[in-house]
Amino acid sequence: MLPIASLGGTPESVKQGVKLYQAIGGLPIIRMLLDTNPSDYYKSLWNSCTTTSLWIGSVGFDDTFENLLRTFELTGFGAAKVEAVSPPPALATLNEIISLYGEGKLRCKLEVKEVASRAVFADPNISLTEAMKMMCEKRIRRLFLTGKSGEFISDRSILSFLFSPKALKVARDFPDSWMDLELSGIQTMRARPVSSHAAVEDVGKMPESGRDVFILYDEVSLVSRWDLVMKPWKAGQLNLSP
């Protein structure tokens, strides 16, 4: 689990008996920028964090593994607040779940082709704004680049660029130019190729920091942390060892 920081009084809600909390999210920030007049870009950066938030669920410190995954499914987001008086509140994410494969505590005999998702591709020469619109419309965090084997950009890489000191200076002085570039101007990451016949639990042992997205040899199917955990669990094929 990861310790968390709270900004003021975090708004709460309840859904199907699960207490929800607002958290800052990448796609909500991108959506906010798309809805903002270019002349107001810099001003929008001073808006309340609640305008770019999403809802994450929560579980108790002694809650079950099953309940944690049900909470992920309820919100569609692979993170949940862990509530406790001692130790302090923390965050449980798919990163911590994936690490259980490496410890031999999580087992799944499915092949990765059975849990893979279809990759979404974009021409690297489209505008950044077009790419951001596509991500919001399809509710995806990654766009693979046509003609660039295994290369993709994510909401994180877009925001890392836009919120770099150099880019923020452009937002302040020349707001109309802040997002005026092609998708190819954003730093890409590369998905790791794996066989479609590889076992889910074997691929689950492979993620490293910054390298946790996989693409099958067909180069059109991807496997993410969500695919490695949530899809086997929903299929009744995920087993947790004592």
Q: Concatenated DSSP letters for 139-203?
A: T-SEEEETTSTTEEEEHHHHHHHHTSHHHHHHHHH-GGGTT-SBGGGSPPEEPEEE-TTSBHHHH
Are 120 and 134 a contacting pair, CB within 8 Å? yes
Angle at which helices 225-234 and 94-102 cross, to 10°: 80
For the full predicted model, state whether its pTM sits above 0.85: yes
CA distance 20 to 10: 10
**Is the pLDDT confidence value at 168 over 80?**
yes
CA distance 121 to 220: 9
Residue-level pLDDT at 47: 86
Q: Show the tokens assigned to 136.
A: 């919001």
Residue-level pLDDT at 11: 59
Question: Which CATH code is given to the segment(s) 2-240?
Answer: 3.10.580.10
- For the chain, the average pLDDT equals 90
Q: Show the tokens assigned to 212.
A: 């946790």
- What are the structural domain ranges in the chain? 2-240
Angle at CA of residue 24, ends 162 and 99, nearest 5°: 100
User: What distance lies between CA 28 and its chain's CA centroid?
Assistant: 12
User: Which pLDDT tens digit goes with each residue over 93-151?
Assistant: 999 999 999 999 999 999 999 999 999 999 999 999 999 999 999 999 999 999 999 99
Are 16 and 39 a contacting pair, CB within 8 Å? no
CA distance 11 to 18: 14
